[in-house]
Structure 1
């Protein structure tokens, strides 16, 4: 039996520990491993809340900032039990919840300041837990994004954690754009402040752009035994330099990634999707679930600043309860540059899509929260366009209803490491209109399982996005046999974790199945 440890910032196998797609992966891959007869342990930070109903296992004592830190390791109950699969959280008072999903901090004036502090403490505590055999005799440690890459720094440079050198370390890149860059020194959340006893290897740790900083994403890429991107096409994209906004590639790390590729350490393996025991809602409850979500948000103190807008959305919805739209386009996403840059760059293109929908009694439904400037833009558009229904909040029931009852799922991502939304929409038999990039290239086939757009420049892409939307409407209205064929083909697609984890074993874990 092989014994795995997964280290990440999110884990959707336990309640209230997900902000994005990483949480899904960290939930699903260990389950797949346990079903193969191997053992898996998953550890995440407690964020001052997730340990409260857990089982205390041990104190973890280690040196940081020339002081003794004591963190606590807890075993916690998952949403669903699997044999040979255990979940843990690490609690320390400085591992604080952030303002994004009560996990990540948003530090606009000094990026990654708070997150660096909590993940430095978390990773060092995990290293000490491995020293103490808290997870048994391990074979593989699988790290996810920069939040866990400090373990590779500790493995290479810290004399207290020599035991880590006996293990194979795999590093998964979920989003190369978020790199965890912090100063080497002169700052509370600097590497020198937390590890004053370690002589800093500047050449192997520095960021190419900011020479006085460590790049923790680069640490993962440079020091892991295997590096993994969450789709084959994203791997190809990030080997090339970025030319924003027309092309998002290696984000200054393309040389490191090219080196990893040359050394046979870089692998692109597509994420899977869940096709079993799917959380479901009853069909026909879309508008009811919107109203229910709106009433819930109206009672939250934190939503008071957009009270008028939520009431406006509720009033708008009532018209559609009686008179159902003929065509529903939807998006469910964090409102960020990655997801909606093209609309922010050209709101008039989005308005053109709304106008085309209005002519065929169609609506566009967007659910999400995120960057204030994106929220404000979509609220302004909603006030002006009756057929744009913007639900500016988060609701699991409503999300499920949107995925179930849409006709077209819209995903114009600037870049996309893998994407799970398109898989969820296709699982329900709904074609997607996507930007032909990253993992979207690997999952949506133009005029077969959905629709794609691309172009050499940003303006080309935006024009082609609107033209592709015209094609969608033309087929939906005038060629029902082809529309139904695309729907059926989308529903039949299977991006299974079984297939993905087969490749994990072969390439990432170097284990013969």
Structure 2
């Protein structure tokens, strides 16, 4: 049985800032249900771990980790939660923070984390066959594992969840933080600086990313964020594996957050719409309800939405919006809600229970991303039978099949170009489908057959291991 150690910076249900946490929180559980490998996970021990989880921690070892000339305290704690073994790296200087990221010393924090992980493997009894690092925060662990070989012959995988974030640092950081011979400098240097993601790509035995389409997109200058030449050099080792979702958790029949469970019943789903309309103060009417649940950043295609949404809502529709981020977008959606209180409701922030009520109530879910490595929101929308309206990029293209009114096949509405009027055309097309009882029911029933669980993707990872 292969022993695999996931190295990551966040994981549900402990710490979450985005979709990475959902993947790290669910994929190991599926892999551990097989007889082919045992996956353990190692994470930073951020100070805001809930007390219910702190009570489960057991101290494993304490040691000093070299970070350049520094000797930094490291405590290793462990817990077994559900069917997965977790380790946590404790250092209050680096991880007693209000947020997971966003600090001037983020590079140093996660170089320390990577050094501490490798030291843990070297010192401890647990000897993984494979080290699987996720995103730039774990990239240095992949590189150092290949250089220092804490387990002779250890194999490494590096997964890109979002190539936009790469872990840039000044040249001087190599000598200041890494304790590596200068012969290894070129494996970290990129574009006149140190680039941790580049180091992961350079040293990993295999490289994966979170959808087949994204695996091809990032080899181009349009999507590669400056690393496309490195990815083309390693092209034979780059594999796209679509993310899955925890279908037991996101389940419209079992979710305690929604009032009316449903699976294949359109009338029951629409009872959830009436309850949401009442909850947020929209008129309780049988009109198409569109939703947007997103980080309010440019990547999510919000410039397309802001360009056409006010025009679109002149029709007989309602829109519910949830998210936070850039002031530009927050203020625009607040403006729409104040100007059109009978048509638009805006919630600035995020609430997991409320988001699920929105998904369950929505007829259509809007996600026109500029780029999207995989995307989980469209998968959640499909679980709650909200028709996704997406741009054909990355994982959106791989998970949403365009609905064909002639053949009756497909699971959503899609458009190809990053163009606001193509989005508007799909929104208007959605109204036509909603008004045609036969077409809407056909599309709805197609969605009820969708299965984006981890089962298939987990077996692709097993093949790599």
Query: Under a length normalisation based on structure 1, what TM-score does the superposition of the two structures give?
Result: 0.81
Asked whether 1:178 is paired with 2:152, we answer: no
- Aligned to 1:89, the other structure's residue is in SS state strand
**Aligned structure 1 segments of 4 or more residues deviating by more than 4 angstroms:** 284-292
The superposition leaves residues 485-508 of structure 1 with CA deviations (integer Å, 9 ceiling, x where unpaired) of 1111122111221110111111x3
Q: CA RMSD in A?
A: 2.2
Asked whether 1:266 is paired with 2:224, we answer: no
- Aligned to 1:154, the other structure's residue is in SS state helix
**Separation in 1 of the partners of 2:385 and 2:429?**
19
> Residues 56, 291 of structure 1: CA spacing in aligned structure 2 closer, same or farther, 3 A cutoff?
farther
**Partner residue in 2 for 1:95:** 94
**Partner residue in 2 for 1:419:** 375
In terms of fraction of residues, the more strand-rich structure is: 2
> Residues 63, 202 of structure 1: CA spacing in aligned structure 2 closer, same or farther, 3 A cutoff?
closer
> Residues 94, 289 of structure 1: CA spacing in aligned structure 2 closer, same or farther, 3 A cutoff?
farther
**Partner residue in 1 for 2:228:** 254
**Separation in 1 of the partners of 2:278 and 2:164?**
36
Q: Which runs of 5+ in 2 are unaligned?
A: 261-270, 404-409
**Separation in 1 of the partners of 2:100 and 2:277?**
26
**Separation in 2 of the partners of 1:67 and 1:95?**
13
**Partner residue in 1 for 2:264:** none
State whether residues 138 and 167 of structure 1, in contact with CA within 8 Å, keep that contact through their aligned partners in structure 2. yes
Q: Which of 236, 239, 259 does residue 219 from structure 2 map onto?
A: 239
Q: How does 1:161-310 map to 2 (within 5 A)?
A: 161-164=148-151, 166-185=153-172, 190-195=173-178, 198-199=181-182, 201-208=184-191, 211=192, 213-242=193-222, 249-261=223-235, 264-277=236-249, 278=251, 279-281=255-257, 282-283=259-260
> Residues 122, 238 of structure 1: CA spacing in aligned structure 2 closer, same or farther, 3 A cutoff?
same
**Separation in 2 of the partners of 1:93 and 1:353?**
50
**Separation in 1 of the partners of 2:294 and 2:356?**
13
**Partner residue in 2 for 1:56:** 59
Q: How does 1:107-126 map to 2 (within 5 A)?
A: 113-126=104-117
1:77: how far off? Answer: 5.4
State whether residues 144 and 173 of structure 1, in contact with CA within 8 Å, keep that contact through their aligned partners in structure 2. yes
Q: Which of 134, 139, 143 does residue 149 from structure 1 map onto?
A: 139
> Residues 191, 341 of structure 1: CA spacing in aligned structure 2 closer, same or farther, 3 A cutoff?
farther
1:165: how far off? Answer: 5.2
The superposition leaves residues 454-486 of structure 1 with CA deviations (integer Å, 9 ceiling, x where unpaired) of 22xx4xx21111011111111111x22111111
**Partner residue in 2 for 1:139:** 129
- Aligned to 2:60, the other structure's residue is in SS state strand
Number of residues of Structure 1 aligned to a counterpart in Structure 2: 438
State whether residues 290 and 391 of structure 1, in contact with CA within 8 Å, keep that contact through their aligned partners in structure 2. no
**Separation in 2 of the partners of 1:193 and 1:398?**
46
Q: Which of 386, 397, 412 does residue 353 from structure 2 map onto?
A: 397
